[in-house]
Amino acid sequence: MRYVDEFRDPKLIRQAAAEIRRLARPDRHYRVMEVCGGHTHAIYRFGLEGLLPGNLELIHGPGCPVCVLPMGRTDDGLAIAELPGVIFTAFGDVMRVPGTKGSPLEHKARGAEIRMVYSPLDALKLAQAHPDRHVVFFAIGFETTAPSTALTLLRARQLGVANFSVFCNHVTIIPAIRAILDSPGMRLDAFVGPGHVSTVIGCRPYEFIAEDFGKPIVVSGFEPLDILQSLVMILRQLADGRAEVENQYARVVPWEGNLPALRALEEVFELRPYFEWRGLGFISQSALKLRDAFAEWDAERRFTVPGIRVTDPKAAQCGEVLKGVLKPPQCKLFGRECTPERPVGALMVSSEGACAAYYHYVHRAAAAASLER
């Protein structure tokens, strides 16, 4: 398979791993955060941690949209889903996210009309096919998915589809990275930059990381070789005493980003003054809402939602895991009360959540070492 197999070539992977071991100074400890949940998933899925030297530690960042969504927002969405005449649509990732009274799948089992869609455009089509119903799309994601929501809203307005609205939970990655850099006790050496988000926003927005905070960041692809190569680039910067924005994923990410997508975002959305991130708290100007011109398609304005803040169960330490203070298995609930099938915290829900990735691929794997052939 082109663009996949060449980035999983065992020989090249072993070479990259050897280069990492060569570059990592034994007298130093390296803490590198991969911002994106897609990277977290890939690191575990391909068993990459096992290839790295012990003094190179990967910290799993906040780049999993499902994971950083506070439970109160899920509750608000599900309150809309329970209204008569509503068809509630969401991505597959959202379906198992626990709300106070259960996940969307559990609401569906109790009779709410909840459907999984692969694109917001499918939700719009559903609205056109059911003019007697109101279709709500539960929008979630970083700049990766926000443009498709924006294009859907532009199309809804163009076609005059009145029985469609969006419950917007889109967030932006830069303020979250800044919040992590600003947080006291931050001890990161560098970042593996999010590949998919960068296809939209480009590389320029990361410059402050290098210039203001003096940390290297390398925008990376998602195959094993991509990630290892990005780590090589990071270690070279650290060895040279450089702090730059570099683009390992240039085959997909243009330096300036995707201008038509950025224009669509600009036309449809504006920044919220502040938004709550699960585990990170309130971050100013970190999330998107629909502009007034799209009020008609804004589910938050069309429907009254409870809007109640729900704090995570005290025992759940999602915040510490999200900030990289704790490793997933160090959480008191990990693998006991909180499992992918019965998640307490959202990090256990999405396959890109650090806890679910850890559970699926490394849990019980102390013995995995014995497997190496």
Partner 1 sequence: MKTASEQAALAALAAPETEAAASGVRFKDPRIEMAHGAGGKASRRLIEGLFAPLLLRGRLAAPLADAAHLEVDGARIALTADAFVVRPLRFPGGSIGELAVNGTVNDLAVSAARPLALLVTFVIEEGIASGTLEAEVWAMAEAARRAGVEVVGGDTKVVEHGKADGMYITTAGVGRVDPRVRCAASEVRAGDQVLLSGPIGDHGITILLARGDLELEADLRSDTRSVYPMVERLLAAAPDGVRWMRDPTRGGVATALNELARDSRLGIALCEEEIPVRDAVRGACELLGLDPLHIANEGQFLAVVAPEHAAAALAAVRSAPGGEEAVIIGEVRAEPARSVLAAASYGGTRIVDMLVGDPLPRIC
Which residues sit at the interface with partner 1, rule CB under 8 A? 1, 4, 8, 10, 13-14, 17, 37-38, 41, 44-48, 50-51, 65, 91-93, 95-96, 105-106, 108-110, 116-118, 122, 140-142, 144-145, 196, 224, 340-341, 350-352, 359-368, 370-373
- Closest Cα partner for 233 from 193, 197, 206, 178? 193
Pick 119 or 285: Cβ nearer partner 1: 119
Q: How far apart are CA 95 and CA 115, in angstroms?
A: 9
Only one residue has tokens 């585990």, namely 279
Q: Which single residue is written with the structure tokens 């999200």?
A: 322
Of 47 and 301, which CB lies nearer to partner 1 in the complex structure? 47
Output the smallest distance, CB 63 to partner 1, in A: 9
Closer of 314 and 373 to partner 1 (Cβ): 373
Give 106 or 312: the residue with its C-beta nearer to partner 1. 106
The distance from CA 131 to its chain's CA centroid, rounded to whole angstroms, is 33
Q: Based on CB atoms, which residue is closest to partner 1, 145 or 152?
A: 145
Strand, coil or helix: 326: coil
- Helices 146-159 and 259-268, interaxial angle, to 10°? 60
CB of 328 to partner 1, least distance (A): 13
> Minimum distance between the CB of residue 363 and partner 1, rounded to whole angstroms?
6
| Minimum distance from residue 94 beta carbon to partner 1 (Å) | 8
Nearer to partner 1 among residue 9 and residue 276 (C-beta): 9
The answer to whether residues 196 and 145 touch, using CB atoms and an 8 Å cutoff, is: no
* CA–CA gap between residue 179 and residue 152 (Å, rounded): 30
Q: How far is the CB of 360 from partner 1 (least distance, A)?
A: 5
Rounded Cα–Cα distance for residues 354 and 63 (Å):
10
3-state DSSP call for residue 100? coil
Residue whose CB is less far from partner 1, 130 or 301: 130
- Rank residues 210 and 265 by Cβ distance to partner 1 and give the closer one: 265
Strands 190-193 and 288-290 turn out to be unpaired
CB of 366 to partner 1, least distance (A): 8
What is the DSSP track for 175-221?
HHHHHHHHSTT----EEEE-HHHHHHH-SGGGHHHHHTT---EEE--
| Minimum CB–partner distance for residue 37 and partner 1 (Å) | 8
CA dihedral 338, 342, 345, 350 (to 10 degrees): 120
Question: Minimum distance between the CB of residue 9 and partner 1, rounded to whole angstroms?
Answer: 8
- Distance CA(162)–CA(156), nearest Å, equals 8
